[in-house]
Each structure stands twice: as structure tokens, then as C-alpha cells.
């Protein structure tokens, strides 16, 4: 259901040039009529607003029932920072956060993780931008489990593209749940985007392109 909050988030992303329409090659190699690039957030006001959207999603889904938040390098770093700040400011939920370096540091404190250092038994949630074929989460979970004997129970993203994963018949979200036991929580889905475009009376050619792409790659 396309709620007012979802409409506001879609408009926020479009206003920041984060949600774009055209033809884009995704990480999974598919040609998509839309693309979400959180790297286009570039002002303090934008990142503060984004943190509020994530914080609301986290609070609704799990409240305070987690140990720490992890943001995968690189796009996950500002996302997890903004979410942690908004959770504390808006809801009084003050949780540690951390992120990884692409390459381990061999001097100073060393290691590949920055911020909170996970411990055995921790319950970690991941803060990411989108999930398409599940490639990124398969790279992230080994990083966390190599650091400590942690549980990764939740993943929070801006957009669930609802696309089939590696096996070709289940969505990436379904595969992530089955493979890792991680519940994925999205602020919006591709279906919300399609419904919003229809309500706004957008270009029929764009709507047709969205429909073709969703029919070929998406499952609901």
C-alpha cells in the first residue's frame, strides 16, 4: 500500500536525484528503467532527513532489540551514521555503529572495522541502500562473522527491488532470509515506485518500461 510516508520518501529521493529514471546497468548486470544511487546525497539536510526515514523503519521493526548497526563500505557508511544519530535524537535509542574498510589497515589500531568492535553473541543489523540480487549482503555477512560469533538478524534498506536472485525463481530478499536468516526491511519497494508514478500520471513509456522490467525480473 502506498502510504503518505512512502510518497514522501519517494519524493525525497527524486528531489535529491537519488531515484532516477532512464536505462541503467545494475550490479547484477540487468538493464533497469530506474536506479537508486544513494551516493547522490550531498547535503547536511539530505543526510539528516534520510537518517530519520531509516530510524523510523528500525524503530518500527525492532525497537531497541539489537546490539549495534553495521554499514558496509562505502555507501553504507553515511547511512549507518545518519541512522544512528536519528535513532538517538528522535527516539532516545542510543546504539553503537561501525563500518568496514575495503582494505585492512596495517598500522595504528589496525584491522578492517571502524567504530564498535563486535563481540560474541551480539545481535547486529545491517544498514544498506538497496537489494537487487543479494550480491552485497553475501559479501557483508562473512565480514561480520569473521569478526565475532554474531547474529545478523535484520537488514534495513531504502528500496526493495523485489527481483529474483541467483537461482532465478526466488527474490533476493527470500534468498537472504533462507541463506542467512536475515529479515530485510525496506522503506519502499519497486511496486510502491510504480504505483506512485501511475498516480502522478508519469510518461506512459516509462510506466510500460517499468511493467516490462517488473514482469521479467520481479516477484511479489
User: Residue 92 in contact with residue 107, Cβ under 8 Å?
Assistant: no
Q: Give domain limits for the chain.
A: 4-102+110-217
Q: List, in sequence order, every residue forming a beta bridge with 189; answer none if it has no partner.
A: 160
List, in sequence order, every residue forming a beta bridge with 113; answer none if it has no partner.
100
Annotated active-site residue 107? The verdict is yes
State pTM to two decimals: 0.90
Does residue 119 have an active-site annotation? no
Closest CA to 75 of 21, 6, 126: 126
Asked if residue 93 has pLDDT above 80, the reply is yes
Q: Are 209 and 33 in contact (CB under 8 A)?
A: yes
Q: So what's the pLDDT on residue 106? A: 56
Whole-angstrom Cα distance, residue 169 to residue 53? 31
pLDDT tens column, 164-206 = 876 667 888 888 898 899 999 999 999 999 999 999 988 999 9
135-147 and 172-180 are packed helices; what angle lies between their axes, rounded to 10 degrees?
A: 20
pLDDT of residue 116: 95
Q: Is the pLDDT of residue 111 over 80?
A: no
Of 107, 170, 177, 185, which one is the catalytic site residue?
107
DSSP 84: H
**What mean pLDDT is predicted for residues 55-80?**
95
- Residue 204: name the closest of 212, 172, 95 by CA: 212
**Do 175 and 160 touch, CB atoms closer than 8 A?**
no
Out of 25, 27, 105, 119, pick the active-site residue.
Answer: 105
**pLDDT at site 1:** 86
Topology given in CATH for the domain delimited by 4-102+110-217: Rossmann fold (3.40.50)
Instruction: Output the average pLDDT for the chain.
Output: 91
pLDDT for residue 105 is more than 80: no
List, for residues 13-26, the tens digit of each pLDDT value: 999 999 999 999 88
**CA 128 to chain CA centroid, nearest Å:** 3
Amino acid at each position: 500500500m502506498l502510504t503518505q510516508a512512502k510518497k514522501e520518501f519517494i519524493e525525497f529521493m527524486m528531489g535529491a536525484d537519488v531515484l532516477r529514471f532512464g536505462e541503467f546497468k545494475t550490479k547484477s548486470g540487468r538493464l533497469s528503467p530506474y536506479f537508486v544511487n544513494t551516493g547522490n546525497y550531498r547535503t547536511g539536510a539530505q543526510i539528516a532527513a534520510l537518517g530519520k526515514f531509516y530510524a523510523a523503519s528500525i524503530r518500527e521493526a525492532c525497537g531497541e532489540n539489537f546490539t549495534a548497526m553495521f554499514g558496509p563500505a562505502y555507501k553504507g557508511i553515511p547511512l549507518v551514521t545518519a541512522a544512528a544519530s536519528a535513532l538517538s535524537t528522535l527516539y532516545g535509542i542510543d546504539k553503537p555503529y561501525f563500518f568496514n574498510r575495503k582494505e585492512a589497515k596495517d598500522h595504528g589500531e589496525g584491522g578492517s572495522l571502524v567504530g564498535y568492535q563486535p563481540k560474541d553473541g551480539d545481535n547486529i543489523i545491517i544498514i544498506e541502500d538497496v537489494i537487487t540480487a543479494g550480491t552485497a549482503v553475501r559479501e557483508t555477512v562473512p565480514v561480520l562473522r569473521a569478526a565475532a560469533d554474531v547474529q545478523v538478524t535484520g537488514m534495513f534498506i531504502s528500496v526493495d527491488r523485489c527481483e529474483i536472485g541467483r537461482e532465478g525463481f526466488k527474490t533476493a530478499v527470500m534468498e537472504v532470509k533462507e541463506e542467512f536468516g536475515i529479515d530485510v526491511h525496506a522503506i519502499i519497494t519497486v511496486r510502491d515506485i510504480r504505483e506512485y508514478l501511475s498516480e502522478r500520471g508519469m510518461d506512459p513509456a516509462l510506466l510500460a518500461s517499468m511493467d516490462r522490467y517488473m514482469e521479467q525480473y520481479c516477484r511479489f
